[in-house]
């Protein structure tokens, strides 16, 4: 059984051949033994995002380019992270989205928002990308 009493779902790479190039990216970006993970955002959420969105797949391929600049990787990672956290307002940056999410949660709940539920800051995401 998975989280919430749901049955675990397995993906067979033979059924999803178009996802084969992204397996290492999903494993490293969503968290593994050597990289941190985003709280509440597991590998399956990232797989579903890759299945649904061609532009996210194109951004993920940047992580395989050995000569890709750090700034480019950070921009790709920010876009993927915003999509992972379902930024409906199309925020201009991760910092803006993080602030808006915190403010909205604080106004609705009238209590403290658990900080682990927020996306990472840009510097933290950059360090995450370097490890991934």
Note whether residue 65 is domain-resident.
yes
CA–CA gap between residue 132 and residue 28 (Å, rounded) = 5
**Which pLDDT score is estimated for 32?**
76
pLDDT digits (tens, 9 = 90+) for 3-38: 566 676 666 667 777 777 888 888 888 877 666 777
Total residue length of the chain: 132
CA distances from 78 to 5, 6, 20, 41, 122 (A): 31, 30, 23, 15, 8
Residue 65, pLDDT above cutoff 80: yes
Q: Is the pTM of this model over 0.85?
A: no
- Residue 66 domain boundaries: 18-131
How many domains are there within the chain?
A: 1
Note whether residue 70 is domain-resident.
yes
Confidence of residue 106 (pLDDT cuts 50, 70, 90): confident
């Amino acid at each position: 059984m998975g989280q919430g009493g749901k049955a675990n779902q397995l993906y067979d790479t033979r059924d999803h051949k178009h996802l084969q190039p992204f397996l290492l990216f999903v494993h490293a970006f969503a968290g593994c033994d050597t990289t941190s993970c985003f709280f509440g955002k597991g590998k399956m959420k990232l797989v579903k995002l890759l299945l649904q969105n061609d532009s996210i797949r194109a951004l993920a391929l940047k992580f395989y380019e050995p000569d890709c600049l750090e700034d480019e990787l950070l921009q790709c990672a920010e876009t993927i992270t915003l999509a992972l956290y379902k930024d409906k307002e199309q925020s201009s940056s991760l910092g803006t989205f993080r602030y808006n999410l915190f403010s909205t949660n604080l106004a609705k709940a009238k209590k403290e928002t658990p900080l682990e539920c927020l996306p990472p800051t840009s510097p933290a995401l950059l360090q995450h990308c370097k490890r991934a």
